[in-house]
Chain A
């Protein structure tokens, strides 16, 4: 068990590309930290540098207070779980799990005891004599976990360990991984491109893009107070709605209508270099059917009427889609997000996704009166993607005084 400190760690390839830019990260002992981001964001490179599978170009990596830049992977005492599981096909499950212990020249009886213990925890006891080829995906994944935990290493590194499982199994294994980590209380660095995994598993989440850390924080903070467009769009499913907006006198002109600006936002936007064009971000759950809003809440929000495109009833609530007319929100961050998702995870830009209560009576093709919570609106500067509604690190909405 140990803490892991990355001090301005950089990875530069011989061809001049820089995969990771001066990443600073302090991972506390026993912490479960997630590196998340689209492919090519440098998360796996960062993990491989911690593992020792890739050299560190500059900066310092300390595990348990000790500089390990020059240490071989085998001397770092950390275990890794791979996306492909990387089980040795010629060895049985038991031999696979015993492999690191055998290499460490541990006593045979002790190896057996440890392997049996790990197999019991992971419910693999009856498969110990099988070859990996004869196991299901979930079982292989557990063997890979078993091989990591038998050693009681200083830290676990996991490189998308659940990506090769089907959706249902992934959810099951997610809880199992989480429980195991709590039980063992071993420092864990977990890489994923799936924001749901990041949100549900980690004590803290690091969102990366293009080799830079975008934001670091606990899942709720990332969700509630994203520092920029990229984090706002990446975290959350369905993702945040983004709309183009312009500042006009004391109001914010959006495709949904003119939103009132509070004193704080007005002064923030009155500066000479303040942007006139903005991007409004609002999460689907911050809309509600206006008919279901109580009077005292009505004042905090803004209401608009629009024809409904489509209603998806999820049972617990309803996803209601609208089409927004007018200019699309455009920014480099949004293009990155769309490129990553291939358009799949992210709604088309002219689509507004709202999550309304199940009691809502809105129907397809009929005009609906929708309320949205002004306190939960984010404003982003399209030039750099920064969230300008953050006040002392907290999202304050547009109408705050």
Chain B
């Protein structure tokens, strides 16, 4: 065979070519198509390559390096005791109460803030979508919290809750110090998170609202749907992809919660998140081994959550099952 047969498809093409059998037309057509497809795929790879190389350089290397560090006993305070210990750091972290407390706190903050943000964000999105007068003003004012640097916002919350001088502390807890008790401190952290990122959620959901054609809502009201039925049976299903994107972004974002805790409580009274204790071990404690182990674990958690969401996306987009039947 003269043609270099890199794939079975191209050898089939060569066969068909040489024998020139007319009844093979269907087969040849498919082969021609796959030749074009191959070119297309090659071009695709070439176009992706620069971005892919940059991605690998800036993300894969740190990930692999921290994984490498996490397999070692490596404390900068005792540099001589550096040793390769396989997975014993993981055992240390995963059997440690502090880790699990922080994990629980992170999950609590994530779940509560994302759920509340979703509900509030949806309300805000509908208001922004529907407003006819002063639309620009409404949108701008709704988005202000998101425009403020998190640390700055966190400081303003801290001052507001400082006993004696803070207006919120004076108003709501004149006798206590809310930031020094675990439950109220967590509440304030969650509140600060929600205040800060609800506008972001609203923005993403508003993009989803724009996907719902007016005719669809009109049709639903002609079909006898109440406002609530139109919302739950027509709007939400059509918006599902946008909602999932918003949830994914916010969940991953909330999992990394750091600034608010750092400023408001600095992790006191068991209010640390996983990012906080990873930071404390890695940067403050100079324990590169344990710190890296924690960051690898956080990475895995994020990966699992992202995977689950992406799986959900698969069937989310309306009409995405096109061609399967």
Contacts and interface: CB of A to CB of B under 8 A. Distances in A.
A103 B223 contact: yes
B213 interface: yes
A74 B219 CA distance: 10
Q: Which of A72, A73, A147 has the most CB of B within 10 A?
A: A73
A53 interface: yes
Interface stretch (A85-93, A175-183, A332-340): A85-93
Contacts of B225: 74, 103
Given A80-B219, A82-B218, A90 B224 contact: no
The SS class assigned to the B binding surface is helix
Contacts, number: 76
Interface string A138-161: 000000000100010000010000
B269 interface: no
Contact of A86 (B218, B224, B240): B218
A74 B218 CA distance: 10
B202 interface: no
Interface stretch (A129-137, A190-198, A384-392): A129-137
Contact of A90 (B213, B237, B325): B237
A382 B108 CA distance: 78
Given A100-B224, A147-B223, A134 B325 contact: yes
A89 B224 contact: no
A388 to B, nearest CB: 44
Contacts of B220: 88, 99
A157 B218 CA distance: 13
Nearest to B211: A89
B92 interface: no
A80 B222 contact: yes
A250 to B, nearest CB: 59
Report the contact-size class of chain B (Cβ under 8 Å from the partner).
20 to 34
A131 B234 CA distance: 14
Contacts of B213: 84, 86
B222 A51 contact: yes
A14 to B, nearest CB: 9
A396 interface: no
Nearest to B237: A90
A30 B240 CA distance: 41
Given A90-B238, A99-B223, A131 B215 contact: no
Given A74-B222, A88-B238, A100-B224, 7 more contacts: A52-B221, A79-B223, A88-B220, A89-B318, A90-B318, A103-B223, A103-B224
Which 7 residue pairs spanning A and B have beta carbons closest together?
A: A133-B319, A89-B318, A86-B219, A90-B237, A100-B223, A86-B215, A74-B224
8 contacts: A51-B222, A80-B219, A82-B215, A86-B219, A89-B319, A90-B238, A99-B233, A134-B322
Interface of B: 213, 215-216, 218-226, 229, 233-234, 237-238, 240, 318-319, 321-322, 325
Interface of A: 51-53, 72-74, 78-80, 82-84, 86, 88-91, 99-100, 103-104, 130-134, 147, 151, 157
